[in-house]
Chains A and B, each alone.
Chain A
Amino acid sequence: MMQSLYDRLKDRFNLGEFTGRRADLAFVTVSREQLRPLLLHLRDLEGFTHLVLLTAVDWIEDDTFQLTYLLNDRARARDIGVRLMLPRDDTQMDSIHDLWPTAATYQRELREMFGIDFPDSPRVNEDFILEGWVDIPPYRREFDTLRFARETYPERPGRETHDPATYMKQQLYPDGEDNG
């Protein structure tokens, strides 16, 4: 079902790689110029009326962000994920809040957590979850969460970590003998 859809749209929208996960779930890659026409086509002509989510993946090794627009076709119970690769040093993207108003919330989150900007998206520059955040966006992978947590929030001394297997062995057999 998804393969035939891909074959139909492939040349028209210059689609990239196709990944079929299940009979009713597939992912396609698209270029930035073709994103809006493709989303419009999927929404208005193919029945993918619902934007399930818009999220990002940080492929720091490839120097790209992957934006995933997951769309759902309720009538035919199928989902399609539209992937878009964004260079990490030019993190400006076109807003789609006029296609799905809910996208504005996702875009606000991406702006805060990944630093991907969506100009013209409603309230995109307001604080979303974090307040008064002064470091680099926390979901970027170059952000060292552990170091930040250690430097920012004081710890209570005395916290220990045990390897469960050796710790339990010590507790159960303090003499070091396992007699079964």
Chain B
Amino acid sequence: MKDELDKRLDNQPDGPERRGSLKDIPVREELLPRWVKGPEGQEYVVEPLQDYFCQAGPTVQTPAYTRIIEDLFNWARAESLWILGFGTGCGAIEMRPLMTPRFDAYRYGIQWRPTPRQANLFVISGYLSVKTLKRAIRSYEQMQNPKYVVGLGSCTINGGMYWDSYNTIKRLDDYLPVDLYITGCMPRPEALLQGFDDLKKLIRAGKAEGANHYAEHFDWYKANQKRVIKDWDMPDYSW
């Protein structure tokens, strides 16, 4: 079966090249290209990674045509920070008090959502293992513009106490566009509130342009991501 596929791919114009790239990465069985017979007997290749996902990359979101409109938009964006409920590392614990009456982040227009589609702020709440980074990238890309990333704690900044770990990344901004870091190990809920406040100021000043940076330097980010995620078995951009 595999030899057959190799032979047929060789006959395609860019076949050998594509086959080469497939061999480097151990791709899951169900994501490998396969031959399918159509109703009238014609045969064609189905490549799940190419065919099941939209291939268009992220695009840069241009500002509104006048300054005053863009400022209005930014004001609106700053007042609706909806956080993706995705916790990594110990920081996820620090988010719980924020949801409850003592710190009550909801009074600042901040709330948590269960799905990337409804969220526009991704708080990376601690160390990211390579395995989690993979999920974080997919979740980030599925969020809709405008979207922001906050790195929480030492681990996202320089690896923190996991600086010599075999399995955690040390610089979050190599892999995702970070708009703001909150220092500490762990930062207290008050520090997070302060951080959200600073993020609001950045957004209102039009400086929280992480998503656009990601779109502009997409190849650089992808190269960094693929350097650590050895079994890259997902589309390059998934949304």
B177 CB within 8 Å of chain A: no
Q: A130-B131, A155-B159, A156-B171 are in contact. Are A148 and B231 (CB under 8 A)?
A: no
Q: Are B164 and A133 in contact (CB under 8 A)?
A: no
Contact of B157 among A129, A154, A156 (CB under 8 A): A156
Is the beta-carbon distance between A159 and B168 smaller than 8 angstroms?
Answer: no
Q: Measured between alpha carbons, how far is A156 from B175 in the docked complex, in Å?
A: 13
Q: Which residues of A contact B131 (CB under 8 A)?
A: 129-131
Q: What residues of chain B lie closer than 8 Å to A146, measured between beta carbons?
A: 164
A56 to B164, CA, bound (A): 22
B interface SS class: loop
- Which residues of chain A have C-beta atoms less than 8 A from B157's C-beta? 156
* A149 & B171 in contact (Cβ 8 Å cutoff): no
Choose among B25, B170, B231 the residue that contacts A153 (Cβ–Cβ < 8 A).
B170
Cβ contacts A133-152/B at 8 Å (1 or 0 each)? 11000100001011011001
Chain A residues within 8 Å of B149, by CB: none
B7 at the interface (CB under 8 A from A): no
Task: Report chain B residues within 8 Å CB of A134.
Answer: 230
Name which of A146, A158, A159 has the most chain B CB atoms within 10 A of its CB: A159
The listed residue (B26, B167, B174, B232) touching A130 by CB distance below 8 A is B167
Contact yes or no, B158 A153, CB < 8 A: no
Distance in angstroms between the alpha carbons of A138 and B168 in the assembled complex: 13
A174 adjacent to chain B (CB < 8 Å): no
Q: Of B134, B166, B171, which contacts A154 at CB under 8 A?
A: B171
Q: Within the complex, which residue of B163, B165, B169 is in contact with A159, where a contact is CB–CB below 8 Å?
A: B163
Name B's A-contacting residues (CB within 8 A): 25-26, 130-131, 134, 157-159, 163-171, 174, 228-232
Q: Show 8 A/B contacts (Cβ-Cβ < 8 Å), sorted by A.
A: A130-B130, A130-B167, A145-B165, A154-B170, A155-B159, A155-B163, A156-B170, A156-B171
> Beyond A145-B165, A155-B170: 17 further Cβ-contacts under 8 Å?
A130-B130, A130-B131, A131-B134, A132-B26, A132-B229, A132-B231, A145-B166, A148-B166, A149-B163, A152-B166, A153-B169, A153-B171, A154-B170, A154-B174, A156-B158, A156-B171, A159-B158
